[in-house]
Structure 1
Amino acid sequence: MLILYILLIFATHSFAQNSKQKTTSETVVQELLEKANSLTHTDPAQSLAYLNRALKHKDEISDAQLLFLYKIGTVACINQQSNMQALDYGYKALALQKKIDPSQMHFIYNNIGCVYMQLSDTEKSRELLNLSLKGLKESIANGTLKEKEVEAYLVYSNLAVIEIESKNYVKALEMLHIYKKQSIRLKDTAGIIITYQNLSNVLYNLKQPDSSRYYSDRGIELSKKKNSRDDLAYLYYYRGYNNRETAKDTAVYYLEESFKLGEELNLSDVKLSTSKALANLYEGNNDYKRSNYYLRIANTLSEKNISEQNKKKTELLEFENEQKIKQQEALLETQKRENLLLFGFILLVPVSVIGFLMYRLQRIKAIQRKVENELLVQKMESKNKELTSNAIQILQANEIIDYTQKGLSQLKTSADTPANRMLTQIISDLKNGNQSFNKKEFEKLFIETDEDFYKKLLHKYPTLTKNEIRLCAFAKMNFSTKEISAITQQSSNSILVARSRLRKKIGLEENQSLTVFFRSF
């Protein structure tokens, strides 16, 4: 059985570079995140406990701190085998990284790919790791990758693991050589050790046992110098497993050492693989007691492993279903918004058309009213001119009649002769005809000229007589007492008395002008 070692990109963040004044919450969260980050590998449970405390200040910290929190959470959950929670943190980190700086998303793609690798979803893992590799290459091309960012190249090692699982050993070897070159260039001892582990595995499967042993020995040597016991447990396994057919005693030694370290460090995958290999070796040496001992351990671990694998698959299905539900809800929400927008647009079109038509109608009506008013004004001006002209003609006619009457009166004698009687009749007819003409013509013209004024006057003062109505009209036209007297054939005193009675009837003070009153009426 293959033991594959995946590489996580540990969260890094430089708060010291931020010269901005931090709030109290940001300071508290920074301390919690630094503690959590230091424990992601050695004590992931405690790391997550610190993160949960930091999450209480989620709404009070910057996006940069929140992103750092999500990154730490992803790594801690992976190390604790809390894969669903790791995916939740990972995708949140991905969304926030896209908002802050999309060029650095390849780091997060790598870690999410590792989660799917732990869940045995090879295709999904490959997809995300390829996205990480693509982002890495773009970052290098654009000059946004820092030379000392060792973690950026971990994707090559993880893709190699995917290819090993798929038995694409040549492709895996290509990826490992690239990663080894970068690890040596950046003096990344941990990366070199991991590369030696995987190279030993790949070369063994490519039927190159000597090269496989060479990299195992180099890895063991480096792990001892660095005191990396986890790496040593895996390398002992590779060294022993690769010698099980050619040097059984050597194989037993390395496998036993690997099993011991696996027990001490609680590496269940190491214990399972070494116990199976040791059970077979001891059976081949006819040591059935030792063989059964390791076989029982292997069976127990296998059952546990199968149970864990089934649990992981179930969790993955649940997570995928939850994601689908969220996507469906988001889709429904989007469709609802689109439908509302569409409904609003559909509603807006007829409303806009109706509004436009109403506006046009109002404009047309306004233009029509303007034209009608202009015509009415023209008509009123024409009538006023006619009324004024007639009034002048009446005045002129009255003057002629007065002059004629005076002349005829001078011709008339006191004798009762037919000629005198005829002159008297003519003078009488002139007076009567003149008065009749004045009243009829003036009233007709006045009503035609200002019908509204006439109606309003009768509505407000229904008890006015015809003579009083005529007097109102004369006042509105600003005729003097003398002019009114000449038109109506009444004396000036009679006109003044009539004006006084009219003021009382309409409730107007003596010092108030009738002309001003009626023009504003």
Structure 2
Amino acid sequence: MHKKAIYIMMLVAVLLASCSSPGRKALELSDNMLKTAPERALAILDSIENAGGLNREEQLHLVWNRAMAHQIMGMSLAEDEQLPEAIIHYREEADKQTDSYLLEASYLNWKGKRADAINVLNKGIGKIKDSTKRVKLMAEQARLLELQREYSKAAEVMERALELNPTKRDKAILNYKIGLNLSLAGDPRSEQFYSQSVRMATENGDTAMACEFLRNYADYLANNGKYRQSNNVYREISRMMPQMAGLSAIQMAMAGNYINLHMPDSARICNEKAIESEARLEAKGFDDISRRMVIELERCLLDYGDGKPVSYVGLSRYCDSITADMHAKESTLARRQEAKERLQWANHELRLDRQRMGWMLAAAVLLLLLGVAGGWIYYRNRLSRLAEAENSIDTLKRMLKETQTPAEETPEEKQQKSEDDAFFKKILLQQLGIIRMVASTPTNHNQALLKRIAGISEGKIQTDSLLVWPDLYLVIDRLYDNFHNRLTERYGNVLTEKEIQIACLLCAGFSTKEIGVVTQQSDATIYVRKTSIRKKTGAAEGQDIVSYINGIKAD
């Protein structure tokens, strides 16, 4: 009966626990978008309601995915305070081990602990055996060394990475970065690595990458005074990708080389092409203040060389426009941030209201279910008690009928025993008041009798207050060969009063059901007490208790 109520409560608990399933689904969805669409993945993660209701595994999953999205998007990880815990949690998972070192290094770098970040990458390089993953860690380590302007060390790290036999594309990139760092360190070997990177990119069929490498190689040549070679490289880029020939960055660099070669006419042509290209880029929203300033500087130098007046009005107005745009953007961003915070706060309040409403609804449903279950259990127990009362009434009525019906003709001993049993039952029922009520109540008032019997059987009237056991023991001794005295003399120190009463009722021919009705105990309790009597008196299991006790007079 009670098991069903427990099952109902367990079902309610499962329903309440399922409230976090949308959070789990959002986490799984963000997993699939991290590499390809980190912005969408981050938006999905930010949309998770009741993040505090996620279990520990799900919370660490949320922290990890959010940090991965921030890293891929180049955003700061300094605010991801729970990231170290997530890193420790995922460190030993094979598919996340490399990312755990990269995330930890990035987190430390954003915290201003660049030396610690480099040491973390060193640990990862020493622990991870997969060469491709080690190259990835070494490339990040070299990048951090570049930020510290330790260009020679960065080049050394990437040269060690080349020894791990990376992919062709990675080889080209590593050669280019080695050349870049060596050039910044003033090492003449840089030209060799630049050339190798361009050759490898070309062999791989990646023209865009080859042109990017050539452009940086041309800058290296110009910085080392090799202006003609630098312009030759720019012409090679124009030949490989004609669409890049007129770009302001290419024309601006060539104009600078011509100025240093004292070729003002060629420089003027390139400068004018750069101005036209930059104007087109600005119109498309791709303006760059650094390029614009170099182009204007070159124009001023050329005007001065030609004896023309030098004017900074154009550059000044451009800088003013940039400053005004920056202020406008900052103001817009501030207003957007303010609106975002208001929306976040409103969303937070809405989530809290939803949570409160959900818990109130869940509590109401739970109370309703518990009420229904409790009512059902009470109803079933009530029915059970009524059935037991009816059985008890039937038993008492049968006992009463036996005391009023003459014994059937039987052999002498059996007839005497039946008469004695009927007599004792009559005495016991008389003490309970049933015989008295039958004698004083007309037959058409049997309802009063039934109420009286029901009161005894339901426990409303305690039999202990109605039965006088000392008087009944005397009757037992007189009718059944001094049974009570023999029982108490031999076992009175081990048997309880209840057990003595049950033994006497068994001697008087009472069934287990009749004993339960008279003593107001369940059948199971009577069976337990009968077993206890057997153990205490030494009777064998299943042996008739009365026969065994009657046998003690032979001792």
Fold-level match, TM-score > 0.5? no
> What TM bracket, shorter-length normalisation?
0.3 to 0.5
Q: Which of the two has higher C-alpha Rg? A: 1
Higher relative contact order (CA 8 A, sep 6+): 1
TM-score (norm 1): 0.39
TM-score (norm 2): 0.37
